Chains A and B, each alone.
Chain A
């Protein structure tokens, strides 16, 4: 008779410690794999679970193995059908898989490493955004908290009548009345009854008159005292005190501004889209709710849905300020800056109609930069130009104009990208923990 032990209810995460150690070990490699994936362009999947190959480097377990391709050996195989001793069989081409040579018997390290490892969206983003922080996020939060919620915080001696705390007030009043010995109504009534009783006694006498006078005097004192010591004194009154508690703003809205005029081709739009997706991923990670507003512009701007934004084309000139106007309008209508953290990302090839750049700068300086937490401008340049432009301060009309804004406002960032592989570094630069590394 043996005992059966039911282990099914034992804690289930026995290998959790090992799993964590493995993830930590593989972290660098996994990060690289994720970055590679995003760089090389399956960005639409970036916001979902990712299946990545388990990294070989860093998690390989080397040991001494015999080289199966060298030396002499005999295999024994089952199922001979036609062979006789001395028969020769051609070796299968290169590296002997297939044809059952019995080599797969010992567990090689090779097969272990090419399995896919599913990382959840959270894990992906964790790996991807690990080193990134929104610029001055903490500072901005403290400085620019714009919503408050009153919270009870003790009592005050001043305040609005609606906030009187009756209980506290009456307690003070009662204590004061006891301390100052304010006569009670009963005491006065007793006195009056005594006087009445004395007056009712027959036969006036000097004694009676004297006693009556004394009593009346006492009554008078009591009455005066009662009048002088009020039932509720202003100094008894207590008000409920409220403090304004700042509420962190958990909503963000991201404005995507893009030039869709003819000069923006497929490539430019694709690059811009990647940048927006990355920004959105980042924001949606930091904020409970992240709205997206897409504003496209040619010589006129309009708010559109995402599909239209990226995939429909329009022809026309380029007037950037129209987009800024539209953005201001939308902010005014739907996203008051005290309730929303506003982020703006603008992508353009740098074209702008003459004179408009100055107007843009003025609008940014006077209105928009005060409303937004962050404004990122990416200029998509030709691959051939990238070497020329990346280093210099020279550039398109818009670039030069924005340069002025960027010098004045710390939360304005601008940069140039030329190819998909540029995006991630640029993005990192824009949102690197120390934003001053991007600027001088």
Chain B
């Protein structure tokens, strides 16, 4: 093929972009994504933004609409300072899990970068958002934008009506327990529309109507000795409040006796935002792996078909290599395992296992090894896993050897780390399991639950922190956070640290008195 003929097939040439080349490139990428890779995506909405708008988006935790709060201003100052001093670059794009899926492209990007991020965000992330079970079950892409619009307006109206300070103090308190504001195990209620509210009320009415006091008089359980009256009462109380409850924001919103309706609504807004982002945190490796694999595949396909030039491809590969760079642990640049690197390596590894398995792979992955359907296998994995289970399922010995992964065990009592396992026959299982645990978000957050509260008595709110592996709560911020909870609860709040295995009480802190 002569150079001129090849050039004729190019989607674009040079680094400048315009809306014409963007659209043409988008169409070409879309064709590869939908026809070759069989991705399934929300409709895309591509938006071009400036660097300042990107900083804006950063500071409002990546949502295009956000209510106002000083902490976002603080983050903006922080990001801006870092950016202006050149300490940190900005992302090339930002993508929002919504329907239509909104991707922001930076105006500074070259055309090659625009193509790369279009493939990465508008197809890679988009496919993942639409198909992964966590996102499907736990977030509502159709409703999030209109919900945030409502939230922004609602909080602005609250500020007008009740004053900035009053709203701010509620938001401060709610933000403090945002991480404890998600349902981890129970599926969260959908962002309810009017009709669902209605249904909920009808059901409650029905329960009230059909209430039968006789049920209460059923004889107590036979097995074991009869619990004492006080214990029984406590159990009844807990049952009514559905305790223990892991979602503190939800519990406070529904149960706190001192909150006004608007304050409850604000707690609800914060809770919805927290819940919305929870799946993203659980699927960082997979999400980025999926998007990186997608852009890599699409751009290579386009290159093979002569739609992008060599110069463009070189730029794309350089950028790709930066993204998936994983420094070794003893490198000064090392900060953590790079989710792009790990994700992309795993996707490629799965592809390899499907097409050119070794005997080791056949032993470890009998289901997929050599099945000759890498794309189907990946799409299935993307849909049905989160990071933790994905690693447990798919991290192969070959890849562990390639990344030279090893596990280091750290115990606070000892003055040394111990290498507990390395990438060898004896260590594969252990390394894989340790890595999966590291990526399990809920295991790396304090497990704090509402254990008990006597609404008719002293209203003392008892929280339990279930201590796993002796990892205590950091004192930094603990007291202040408890005070925030106290502000929302109004009465005494205490936090007991309880060893999850032995049930032994380790320590107790409380705020407020009766």
Contact residues of A with B, CB < 8 Å?
1-8, 10, 12, 14-15, 17-26, 54, 59-81, 83-91, 99-102, 104-106, 109, 112, 115-118
Contact = CB atoms under 8 A, between A and B. Distances in A.
Contacts of A71: 411-412, 467-472
B406 A88 contact: no
Interface stretch (B74-82, B186-194, B228-236): B74-82
Nearest to A68: B474
B336 A21 contact: no
A7 B50 CA distance: 8
Given A85-B419, A115-B82, A67 B405 contact: no
B40 to A, nearest CB: 16
A25 B415 contact: no
Interface of B: 19, 22-23, 26-27, 30, 43-50, 52-53, 55-56, 59-60, 68-74, 76-78, 81-82, 104, 107, 164, 168, 172, 175-180, 326-331, 334-337, 403-412, 414-424, 426-427, 431, 434-435, 437-438, 444-446, 448, 465, 467-478, 480-481, 484
Contacts of B480: 60, 62
Contact of A22 (B77, B178, B469): B77
Nearest to B421: A85
A105 B284 CA distance: 13
B413 to A, nearest CB: 9
Which of B74, B408, B423 neighbours the largest number of chain A CB atoms within 10 Å of its CB?
B74
B336 A104 contact: yes
A99 B22 CA distance: 44
A76 B407 contact: yes
Contact of A15 (B56, B329, B422): B56
Given A66-B472, A117-B77, 5 more contacts: A12-B52, A61-B172, A63-B177, A70-B470, A72-B470
A27 B145 CA distance: 33
Contacts of B419: 83-89
Which of A12, A18, A72, A87 neighbours the largest number of chain B CB atoms within 10 Å of its CB?
A18
Contacts of A100: 329-331, 334-335
A76 B438 contact: yes
B48 A6 contact: yes
B81 A117 contact: yes
Which of A3, A15, A64 neighbours the largest number of chain B CB atoms within 10 Å of its CB?
A64
Given A60-B480, A104-B335, A104-B336, A72 B409 contact: yes
Given A25-B70, A74-B420, A117-B81, A79 B76 contact: no
A64 B168 contact: no
A54 B82 CA distance: 13
A286 B71 CA distance: 33
Q: List the 5 closest A-B pairs by CB distance, nearest first.
A: A79-B328, A22-B73, A71-B471, A18-B73, A105-B336
B290 to A, nearest CB: 20
Contact of A3 (B45, B77, B168, B335): B45
A48 to B, nearest CB: 18
B330 A79 contact: yes
Which of A3, A15, A60, A101 neighbours the largest number of chain B CB atoms within 10 Å of its CB?
A15
B463 to A, nearest CB: 10
Contacts of B73: 15, 17-23
A89 B412 contact: no
Nearest to A51: B81
Contact of A115 (B26, B78, B104, B426): B78
Nearest to A98: B332
Contacts of B421: 85
A67 B469 contact: no
Which of B53, B337, B415, B417 neighbours the largest number of chain A CB atoms within 10 Å of its CB?
B417
B47 A5 contact: yes
B406 A77 contact: yes
B471 A67 contact: yes
A4 B330 contact: no
Given A76-B406, A83-B419, A85-B424, A64 B77 contact: no
Which of B47, B55, B448 neighbours the largest number of chain A CB atoms within 10 Å of its CB?
B47
Contacts of B78: 54, 112, 115
A8 B448 contact: no
B474 A22 contact: no
Contacts of B470: 70-72
B164 A4 contact: no
Contacts of B475: 67
B48 A73 contact: no
A105 B335 contact: yes
19 contacts: A1-B23, A4-B23, A4-B46, A18-B69, A18-B72, A21-B70, A21-B73, A22-B76, A62-B176, A63-B176, A64-B177, A65-B477, A72-B409, A72-B470, A72-B471, A79-B328, A102-B438, A105-B335, A109-B476
Contacts of B434: 74-76
A7 B419 CA distance: 51
B5 to A, nearest CB: 26
Contact of B408 (A77, A104, A117): A77
Contacts of A63: 175-179, 477, 481
Contacts of A109: 476-477
B426 A70 contact: no
A5 B45 contact: yes
Nearest to B177: A63
B53 A8 contact: yes
Contacts of A117: 77, 81
